């Protein structure tokens, strides 16, 4: 039986700058892997205003910062929000995604539109 202790981690970012690259160079860090690693469970995406067709991209960057890998793309649909039509929102799950110590979980948008991004994660520690 493991005596591991999981501590909730919430990563929050507002992304606004268009980044059409797929190398994660200009992506925003949401969560950095703790000393014993971190599990990423899900990410909530909420548009701040109307959206056009586009993409939210998720990356994992190694601890040296020299390599980022595109791990997922989430399509964003065009939405014109109103009193009867909500802004774009989506929860994306990442079953089994584990960040090693010092690795970074990053996010970017391909359009110049603002998105609130909230990551649900957990660090692992041992007493």
pLDDT in the model for residue 14: 97
Positive or negative CA dihedral for 8, 38, 101, 15? Answer: negative
Structural domain contains residue 114: yes
Residue 59 contacts residue 117 (beta carbons within 8 Å): no
pLDDT in the model for residue 104: 97
Q: How far apart, in whole angstroms, are the C-alpha atoms of residue 68 and residue 121?
A: 19
pLDDT in the model for residue 68: 94
- Tokens matching residue 96: 């089994």
Structural domain contains residue 1: no
For the entire predicted model, the pTM comes to 0.92
Q: What is the CATH number of the domain that holds 108?
A: 2.60.120.40
Structural domain contains residue 113: yes
Domain count, the chain: 1
Structural domain contains residue 2: no
Ordered per-residue pLDDT tens for the chain, 127 residues: 467 788 999 999 999 999 999 999 899 999 999 999 999 999 999 999 999 999 999 999 999 988 999 999 999 999 998 898 899 999 999 998 999 999 999 999 999 999 999 999 999 887 7
Owning domain of residue 12:
7-125
The terminus-to-terminus CA distance of the chain in angstroms comes to 13
Residue 23 contacts residue 105 (beta carbons within 8 Å): no
């Amino acid at each position: 039986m493991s005596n591991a202790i999981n501590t909730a981690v919430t990563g929050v970012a507002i992304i606004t700058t268009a980044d059409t690259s797929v190398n994660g160079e200009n992506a925003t860090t949401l969560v950095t892997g703790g000393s014993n690693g971190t599990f990423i469970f899900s990410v909530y995406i909420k548009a701040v205003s109307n959206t056009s067709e586009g993409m939210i991209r998720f990356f994992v960057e190694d601890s040296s910062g020299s390599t980022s890998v595109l791990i997922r793309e989430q399509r964003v649909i065009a939405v014109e929000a109103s009193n009867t039509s909500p802004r774009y929102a989506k929860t994306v799950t990442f079953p089994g995604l584990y960040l090693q110590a010092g690795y970074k979980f990053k996010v970017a948008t391909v359009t110049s539109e603002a998105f609130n991004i909230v990551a649900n994660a957990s660090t692992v520690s041992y007493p």
